[in-house]
Amino acid sequence: MLKKINTSFTKMMNIDFPIIAAPMFLVSNTDLVTQASECGGIGTFPALNYRPIEKYAEALKTIKSQTKKPIGVNIIVNKSNTRQNQDLKIGLDEGVELFITSLGSPKTVIAEAHKNGAKVFCDVTNLEHAKKVQDMGADGVIAVGSGAGGHAGPISPLVLIPWLKASMDIPIIAAGGIAHGSMIAACLALGASGVSIGTRFIASKEAQVDEAYKNAILTSTPEDIVMTTRVSGTPASVINTPYVQKLGTDLPWAFKILKEHKLTKKYMVPLIHLMGMNALEEAATKPTWKTVWTAGQSVGLIDDILSVNEIYNKLLTEYDEAVKNLSQLGVE
């Protein structure tokens, strides 16, 4: 068993392994976060997993009482999230070490987090956005490539990581389609300083989602993953269930027009987000015919439900084997 993998990210966060258990809406909970950090990686969760906001504060207190290792919180930083400033303040008060921002400008989060010595990594899908957040003072970026669950980017990780690496001075975390240790080795070889893994942890014992959701992860293939704008208005990867097929993957034309019109945009975007959150919540937590399950293409590599600890051990064993196999390929 590996004792440590040293990268700029592990040194920055004072952790043993460059593996983030990604913040997943409705999936990441106190047990999953705690165990991921205790395994030497870093567990994270979306602040919006806990509503009302008092439950979010309670969740942080619970996690911090169970582990002294660093943890992370994901904050949606667009206008649809009316509690983002409160989420940040509570996170800082509870000593959160890492903030992951998505879907908006991280300027405020970066400024406030740095006052506490916390780090901020920002979800990006292209070089333009990555450079913007670097200029704002971000400590790193999470390069969300094609194959990711949820809000996936359009660019292959094989291209995205080296593209960002050539122009960036801050650490890059690879995200999208990672469920095997050999993929971690590949991402580090491409120039990443770590990886963010989501879908693999849906099929974990700690994830408190409906068993049908976990079973769908085990039985789906990469070809079962489709992109839809019906969930949040932004393209998101979901399992192509009969309900998704019936619903279609595009917004209704009336929603599209209202979302793009300058006078109605500010009302429609939060409404679409809210409707999508409600649909995801219902599908994840109880049996329903309205099955909208977020997942990435890595479902094709997942065939068992393991504990978080077992998942980390498996990933690290696979990583070690991959690195050893590569070292035998030496150039003559």
Instruction: Note the Cα 35 to chain centre separation in Å.
Output: 16
Same domain for 179 and 60: yes
Same domain for 66 and 100: yes
Q: 172-175 and 225-228: which strand pairing? A: unpaired
**Which one is predicted more confidently, 276 or 61?**
61
In a domain, 229, yes or no: yes
pLDDT-derived band of residue 267, with 50, 70 and 90 as boundaries? very low
Same domain for 131 and 33: yes
Supply 232's token pair.
Answer: 């949040």
Instruction: Report d(CA 96, CA 174) in Å as an integer.
Output: 22
pLDDT at residue 53, as a whole number: 92
Same domain for 194 and 87: yes
**Which one is predicted more confidently, 332 or 297?**
297
- Domain total of the chain: 2
Same domain for 196 and 140: yes
In a domain, 1, yes or no: no
Q: Is the pLDDT of residue 158 over 90?
A: yes
Same domain for 122 and 234: no
Q: Mean pLDDT for the chain?
A: 86
Q: Which domain holds residue 221?
A: 211-297
pLDDT-derived band of residue 294, with 50, 70 and 90 as boundaries? confident
Return phi, psi of residue 320, to 5°. Answer: -60, -45
Residue that the structure tokens 């269930």 belong to: 241
Neighbours of 299 (CB within 10 A): 28
Supply 313's token pair.
Answer: 């051990």
Q: Which of 217, 215, 238, 223 shows the shortest CA–CA distance to 293?
A: 238
Same domain for 114 and 222: no
Q: Is the pLDDT of residue 117 over 90?
A: yes
In a domain, 2, yes or no: no
Give residues with Cβ within 8 angstroms of 19, minimum separation 6.
36, 41, 42, 184, 194, 195, 197, 312, 315
In a domain, 332, yes or no: no
Same domain for 144 and 48: yes
